[in-house]
Structures are given as structure tokens and as C-alpha cells.
């Protein structure tokens, strides 16, 4: 791992450590509840609450949510990927739609992330953005 990659990882860890863990757990629980019961509206509530409170989730959480809980529905991606702090790590599991909208598709990460803090996660396509 390069020095820059380690600094980036340390930055991500610091951001997560600075977030209220109770609030993050509440938001993640909303996401999981929505995913488990295929309730996109509940997942949109989680997205809204995350935006309002500046809370982000990890790529690992997004993977579990989108690929391991409930039905495989593209709408799930549009509620969680905009809040993935370490969005570049979604490249190892994201489908082509997720890569395109949220992870810079096949663009060179060294060109996308040149400084710390890195660019924030993308909001996604405007016609699929949940309200809020």
C-alpha cells in the first residue's frame, strides 16, 4: 500500500470515528429494515436522514445492503451509494450501473482522487434521486 493510500484510509477512518455512532447505527438500521423488506421508501428515509446529518456509510456496508439483504433491486443502489464515503472501494463489487453513476466507471482512480479529502460521493442520476 502506498503512503497516499494509507493517508486516504486514515482519513476515512477519522471521518467514521468523528460520526455519532448512535446516529449512524440508527441510519444503517433504517437501511437494513428497508432492504430486508424491499421497502425503498424506508431506504429513502435513511438517505434523507443521512444527508440531513452528514452521515456516511462504508463501501462494505453498501455491499452487504445491496447484495446480501433482500431482493437485488437497482433502487437500493440509488439510496445507499450517494452516502458511501469510500466510494472508490465499491469498484470491487458494483455492477455497471453503480460503477457508472457512483464510482467513476473505469476512470483512473489516481486521476479521480488526487488529494485528501477525496471528492465526495456522487449524488447519482437526477431522475432517480430520491426526494429529500
- Given a cut of 70, the residues of the chain with pLDDT beneath it are 127-132
Domain assignment of residue 40, given as a range: 3-112
- In this predicted structure, what is the pLDDT of residue 113? 93
User: Which residues have CB under 8 Å from 88's CB, separation 6+?
Assistant: 59, 103, 104, 109, 112, 113, 118
Residues 6+ apart with CB under 8 A from 52: 132
Residue 1's pLDDT is 77
* pLDDT score, position 32: 97
- Does a structural domain hold residue 100? yes
pTM of the model: 0.91
Instruction: Tell me if 75 is assigned to some domain.
Output: yes
Q: Is residue 122 part of a domain?
A: no
8 A C-beta contact, residue 34 and residue 46: yes
> Is residue 56 in some structural domain?
yes
Look at residues 113, 97, 121 and name the one whose alpha carbon lies nearest to residue 8.
113
Q: How many domains does the chain have?
A: 1
Segment (H or E) for 42: helix 40-53
Residue 84 is classified by DSSP as: B
The reply to whether 127 falls in a domain is no
In a domain, 92, yes or no: yes
- What is the spatial distance between Cα 123 and Cα 39, in angstroms, rounded to a whole number? 20
Amino acid at each position: 500500500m502506498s503512503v497516499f493510500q494509507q493517508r486516504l484510509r486514515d482519513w476515512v477512518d477519522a471521518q467514521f470515528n468523528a460520526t455519532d455512532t448512535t446516529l449512524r447505527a440508527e441510519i444503517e438500521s433504517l437501511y437494513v429494515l428497508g432492504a430486508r423488506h424491499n421497502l425503498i421508501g424506508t431506504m429513502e428515509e435513511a438517505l434523507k436522514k443521512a444527508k440531513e446529518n452528514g452521515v456516511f456509510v462504508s463501501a462494505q456496508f453498501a455491499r452487504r445492503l445491496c447484495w446480501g439483504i433482500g431482493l437485488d433491486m437497482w433502487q437500493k443502489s440509488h439510496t445507499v451509494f450517494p452516502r458511501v464515503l469510500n466510494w472508490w472501494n465499491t469498484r470491487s463489487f458494483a455492477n455497471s450501473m453503480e460503477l457508472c453513476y457512483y464510482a467513476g466507471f473505469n476512470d483512473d482512480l489516481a486521476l479521480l482522487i488526487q488529494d485528501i479529502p477525496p471528492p465526495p460521493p456522487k449524488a447519482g442520476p437526477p431522475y432517480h434521486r430520491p426526494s429529500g
